[in-house]
Chain A
């Protein structure tokens, strides 16, 4: 049956490959790639993207891991609601997330209004960038880690407790190492999503160079300015490479789920 399906398959592979190849080809032949890569627009947005996505990931791990554990191990009233809440940002258009964040935490938002009175402004700051990324990307981490912890039979923890290990020690010595592949996978998914975040950031944080302009936003600015398409191309190439590296890492981690029980 392969010969029957091959044309459709090839056509689609080509559809995915050609635009990326074109990007690479244009980047390499522009002659300006190294100049573009060192332009302040690119450097600033690259730095901002790296810093904000890393902070986002750190927060997602610190807050998301306990939440994932609770969701994996306990039943409580309202759990279905919490599950839904975590899934929503995955399916929502990010722009909706941006509007929601703005309405809640923006200067005139229902919470932001009070924060503003205490001199704490979030909207249109780097903090807003992190919050926008966190809102849309942390669910990927929580989902993945929750599934990973669920796959670790609770009996391991129970036995560890009878062997004298405190719940915290049992978590760090047993559950966490056994769920490690999904924690790394969740982190990679979360980071990749944070890195590519655009819609929520644009609405909630705005597009200010050096402050809220991450790489996806910089692409839009460079494109709109109409100066040259070479700058968006340079930015795109960096993002494609970063995404490819993260996906490769994900493969390696997934392939190394070695503590199959």
Chain B
């Protein structure tokens, strides 16, 4: 039960060449706008033909095979496709929209299926309404019910929550995750919202400029991005330029102009130019007089130069003073949740020490 995608498609100047697999789980396709996410879904749904390559549906049938020329029409693919604009049929009622894919079923079976979907998605009482007469969240659920009606082998979701406000988005995300587990369905979701990707994904596929630059579990992609592009996309935000000076015990010693740090992993060799990366929420602000947990953790003196309070986290900007090696100071983005912020009384003074825990650091090529 694996969706396998490996094709190339040229559209104007843009070359789309995605290559990835997605199995019985929720795979999230992320990438900046213009990276080809939506085009990829469109090609899988059959609304756009690749120039070459293969698309194999989870049940093993080839939806597109550039080699043999075999191709299934969108009607034959059995793919549920929820587009960004939802495209509910405005002249049909909620019931007629949901029924659209199963109009040829026998009436009793069809009624049962609609009733099942209506209850599954909390739409009871709305069956007779038109899309213009229900809320944005309800429309979203109708689009999902319509896509699921004919029991698709694969569910494609193109930024399905983008039109909703944030509280509703969070609710529907939870519903979708629960629903997918219940239906045991292979689903592929496209989003440019990194928080959404983290909240929903079992696996993440990162597209950049039409190519897959990384695919893996959510933890791998968020905590071990393979390149600067991916790290930027998953909002790592701190990139310290440096150089690997030594490699021992499976860890690299990285020297930067401001400090030296130990970073796990043996990928990079002495002499490699790298960025030392750390996520803003992984930086530890040290209480006065405390030392870090591990001797290999790096302690850096910083000065807070900006403090942007948010609802649940403070976004701090911390400056590391210029050194003999570096004419410029380095600036860290550090996110501190409100509670530790208050316990530490961070507001009280400007000069602090931060700890960069070894296991939270990673490198990307510079």
Contact = CB atoms under 8 A, between A and B. Distances in A.
Contact of B89 (A158, A166, A174): A174
Nearest to A156: B87
Nearest to B90: A259
19 contacts: A155-B85, A158-B45, A158-B74, A158-B81, A159-B81, A159-B87, A161-B47, A161-B73, A161-B74, A162-B75, A162-B80, A163-B100, A163-B147, A164-B75, A164-B101, A164-B150, A173-B89, A178-B90, A260-B90
Interface in B65-94: 73-75, 77, 79-81, 83, 85, 87, 89-91
Nearest to B84: A155
B146 interface: yes
User: Which of A158, A162, A174 has the largest number of chain B CB atoms within 10 A?
Assistant: A162
A163 B146 contact: yes
Contacts of A161: 46-47, 73-75
Interface in B84-135: 85, 87, 89-91, 100-101
A99 interface: no
A156 B89 contact: yes
A177 interface: yes
Contacts of B45: 158, 162
User: Which of B74, B85, B149 has the largest number of chain A CB atoms within 10 A?
Assistant: B74
A261 B132 CA distance: 8
Nearest to B96: A173
Contacts of B79: 162
Interface of B: 42, 45-47, 73-75, 77, 79-81, 83, 85, 87, 89-91, 100-101, 146-147, 149-150
Nearest to A166: B75
A162 B74 contact: yes
A96 B46 CA distance: 48
Interface residues of A, number: 19
Interface string A135-162: 0000000000000000001011011111
Contact of B47 (A162, A173, A174, A178): A162
A20 interface: no
Interface string A68-103: 000000000000000000000000000000000000
Given A159-B81, A162-B45, A164-B101, A153 B74 contact: no
A165 interface: yes
A163 B92 CA distance: 15
A180 to B, nearest CB: 8
Contacts of B42: 158
A164 B87 CA distance: 15
B83 A165 contact: no
B47 A158 contact: yes
B311 to A, nearest CB: 35
Given A159-B81, A159-B83, A161-B47, A259 B101 contact: no
A162 B46 contact: yes
A153 B81 CA distance: 16
B87 A155 contact: yes
A164 B45 CA distance: 11
A161 B48 CA distance: 12
Nearest 4 interchain pairs by C-beta: A163-B101, A161-B74, A162-B81, A259-B90
A152 B187 CA distance: 28
A156 B92 CA distance: 12
A155 B74 CA distance: 13
Interface in A168-208: 173-174, 177-178
Interface in A211-261: 259-261
A160 B100 contact: yes
A177 B91 contact: yes
A160 B91 CA distance: 14
Nearest to A161: B74
A155 B158 CA distance: 12
